[in-house]
Structure 1
Amino acid sequence: MESVELSDFVPDFAPAVGRVVETGQRVRVTDGGVQVRVLLAAGELAELEHFAQRTRYVRGRPRPTDERWRPLGPGEQGPYTRFVHGDGVRMTFLRGRAVVAELRSVAELEWIEEAASLGRQSFMPPSQAAAFEEFLARQPPVGDGIAWIAAGWREHEPFRVLDFVKGVAPEDVALTYGADPGDVAGGLLLHQVRERDRRAGTDDLTRVVTFGAAGEWTWLGYHDNDYAGLLDPPPTEQITLVATAAKAIYTFDYLRDGAYQNPFPVEDDTEPRRDLYELIWYAPGEMPFVPDAPLGFLNAHIRRAEETAHRTHPFELFFAGLERAFGLALPRADITAGRVRCARLTGRPARRVTGGASPA
């Protein structure tokens, strides 16, 4: 990388800008022999900025200032025009009406590159995306997925809590959660409870656990998550989604072999550690999880859902990412028609506590 002293660059910037435009290579700008700024091609900076804005997990961007270099107007040398930003550090160089080069402080450029590196980890170039799409296309479909239920789930319809448990039979999980053994043995169906509620004016529908199996998972839907029991030994994987409409909180928990995977790193170490992931934190187009965190593997699946799912609401996209990552599914027609098994919750087993956070 070529170098130029700041005191020489400011009055005579055209040669350095010309080298960047012709070669695409950066130019190191030094002050007393110490590198303080970097001149780079505008296209390179634009690409870095694009990926940097896709992540929120880098501390605040440095904004150095320098009172020495704040000219009142643009400067022109040969085919290039220089515009100095208000901080006296950043500079933008144009040729005609096209931006061709940018000057940034070393500290700010390092920040941009770190953030861009994190943002890129959940991005697939076209060739890789095509190969991944081909791989996904070869996989057998897993029922109806779960994204379809997200809209109603926000209104607690048909359940407020969704549990997915791997490696345990539906009946065993339901009994552990406090389901009436007679209902489990008798094969009570959800539509029977609905019809009885209509006839008798009761509200048993909110006091049952509905359950079934889809693929490798047992799924359960219910309203009162005080009934969620401890599974001993813990299942190989367990996922819980809880909707609390009154607080506008929708949470996602994931356990593997009983170990809570959710600790959510925060940008500022002075903030308390948050052990629940609220879906309202997720914004499409941004990476939801720190790449090296336990849940970082979900980033690619959520990104693929954003690119391919015909959905727009963030909760639906997040659910679509989960169904891709874990192979989750819920039988849409059977749940809608009430042709799924359920049981009244009569027991009240020990309340499950995941990580450091109690269910909402």
Structure 2
Amino acid sequence: MDNVELSDAIADFTGLVGRVEETGERVCLVEGGEPTSVLLAAAELAELEHFAGRVEGGVRPRSGAGQGQPFGPDPQGPYLRYVHADGARMTFVRDRVVVAELRSVAELDWLEGRTRTARQGYMSPKRAAAFEEFLARQGPVGDGVAWIAASWRCQQPFTHLVFLRGPAAEDVALAYGADAQDIADGLMLHQVEERDAREGTDDLTRVLAFGEENGWTWLGYDDFDDAFSRSLDPPAEKQITLSATTAKAIYEFSYFENGVYQNPFPIETGAEDRRDMYELIWYTPGEAPFAAEAPLSFLNLHLRIAEKAGNWTDNIALFFEGLERAFGLALPRDAITSGHVRCARPARR
């Protein structure tokens, strides 16, 4: 990329625009030896804007005050120059076709950074089809989680399932307010169940079951009396929560990354900018539940694969299978159903 002094170019961009149009290469304008702006092909800027627009958040740098160019099209050889309202950005047109754009270095750096982020998740239609076929051949990790969907829907064996990436299971259990002695003793779920049957107690609905599968810590518990705190400091790298309230037919899903809620759908104008859950009854097989620009749009592909696999007909089980495919979630089926998983009661207060 060639450097040209701004003072040499500002009066007449004809030669520079012609070079960009012919070669597609950028030209950097400098002032006092410092890069200030870049002249680039309009097609290249369009591509940057396309991908950068797929990344949410961030404030686009504003161009500083320009040279005070006159209003209206400014002939520059075979081109017309249109100076934007900020006086710094410019658009160059030949025969009613945009051929080049001038943008500040700061704005271009911002666009390129967001474009790199967006491209990491981009696949061409051909690659996406091949990836979809590859995923279709992959089974769940371990037992997966779809197997528990039917009983979870009836609040059995737990009303809440939580999956956390990062912290160890015992650390999470302690942070949630589980009894340290129960954790140290290695209390098992079947022991609590047997004691309930023997002594007429009801501790099974008040314990926190926990374990680790495929790099995730999982928790299972009933949330009838807010016995557990449900908070971590610092938050987990990733956290998925599934909660069932059968009496109200409310089945919720939420996903956080580093404590930041990943809103599952775009916000309409005037609506609240944060929502804390997605209701699974909103999911209809055959329809993409998350808009393309939503943070959770990547789940659409995995849900479609689950639908094509035909392992389940129940909507919630299908959604669970989509989650297990997307995140590699798993729960030990035999261990949970037989009660051979660790658990702890709430810490004594």
TM class by smaller structure: 0.5 to 0.7
Report if aligned partners of 1:279, 1:315 keep a CA contact under 8 Å in 2.
yes
> Aligned residue for 1:132?
132
Distance in 2 (alpha carbons) for counterparts of 1:150 and 1:190: 20
Cα root mean square deviation, aligned: 2.6
Aligned residues: 226
Normalising to structure 1: TM-score of the pair?
0.58
2: CA distance between counterparts of 1:238 and 1:312? 26
SS of residue in 2 equivalent to 1:158: coil
Amino acid in structure 2 at the alignment position of 1:164? F
1:286 corresponds to:
287
Counterparts in 2 of 1:151 and 1:141: CA distance versus 1, 3 Å: closer
Offset of residue 141 of structure 1: 4.9
Aligned to 1:213: 212
CA contact (8 A) 2:179 2:347 kept: yes
2:265 alignment counterpart: 264
Amino acid at match of 1:288: P
Residue deviations 1:241-300 (CA, integer Å, cap 9, x gap): 00011111111110001111025335x646656442100111111110111111111111
Deviation of 1:132 (Å):
3.1
Which residue does 1:335 correspond to in 2? 336
The structural deviation recorded for 1:144 is 0.4
Q: 1:151 matched to which residue of 2?
A: 150
Check conservation: 2:132, 2:301, Cα contact below 8 A: no
Report SS of the residue matched to 1:295.
helix
Superposition TM-score, scaled by structure 2 size = 0.60
Q: What amino acid maps onto 1:207 in structure 2?
A: R
**Which whole-Å CA distance do the structure 1 matches of 2:127 and 2:266 have between them?**
32
8 Å CA contact 2:265, 2:295 repeated in 1: no
Distance in 1 of aligned mates of 2:250 and 2:269: 23
Q: CA deviation at 1:213?
A: 0.3
SS in 2 for 1:296: helix
The amino acid of 2:183's aligned partner reads V
Are 1:296 and 2:292 matched, yes or no? no
Deviation for aligned residue 1:320? 0.3
SS at match of 1:290: coil
Contact 1:178 1:347 in 2 (8 A): no
Distance 1:201 1:308, change over 3 A: same
Q: What does the per-residue CA deviation read over 1:209-260, in whole Å, with 9 as the maximum and x for residues that have no partner?
A: 0000001100000001731332111111001000011111111110001111
Query: What amino acid does structure 2 have at the position aligned with 1:278?
Result: E
User: Does the 8 A contact of 1:167 with 1:236 survive in 2?
Assistant: yes
Following the alignment from structure 2 to structure 1, what is the Cα–Cα distance between the partners of residues 320 and 247? Answer: 21
Report what 1:356 is aligned to.
none
1:313 is matched with 314
Work out the CA distance in 2 between the residues paired with 1:277 and 1:209.
Answer: 24
Deviates more, 1:128-137 or 1:323-332: 128-137
Secondary structure of the 1:297 match is: helix
The AA in structure 1 aligned to 2:343 is C
C-alpha distance in 2, partners of 1:288/1:136? 19
Alignment of 1:1-360 (within 5 A): 129=129, 131-134=131-134, 137=137, 141-224=140-223, 226=226, 227-262=228-263, 264-265=265-266, 269=269, 274-346=275-347
For the Cα contact (< 8 Å) 2:206–2:221, is it kept in 1? yes
Q: Following the alignment from structure 1 to structure 2, what is the Cα–Cα distance between the partners of residues 131 and 271? A: 36
Unaligned segments of structure 1, at least 5 residues = 1-123, 349-360
Q: 1 CA distance for matches of 2:333 and 2:192?
A: 18
| Letter of the 2:200 counterpart | G
Structure 1 position 128, deviation (Å): 5.0
Q: Which amino acid aligns with 1:223?
A: D
Counterpart Cα distance in 2 of 1:169 and 1:294? 26
Q: C-alpha distance in 2, partners of 1:321/1:297? A: 10
> C-alpha distance in 1, partners of 2:198/2:247?
29
Contact 2:135 2:305 (C-alpha < 8 Å) held by counterparts: no
Measured in 2, the distance between the counterparts of 1:194 and 1:296 equals 41
1:85-108 Cα shifts (integer Å, max 9, x gaps): xxxxxxxxxxxxxxxxxxxxxxxx
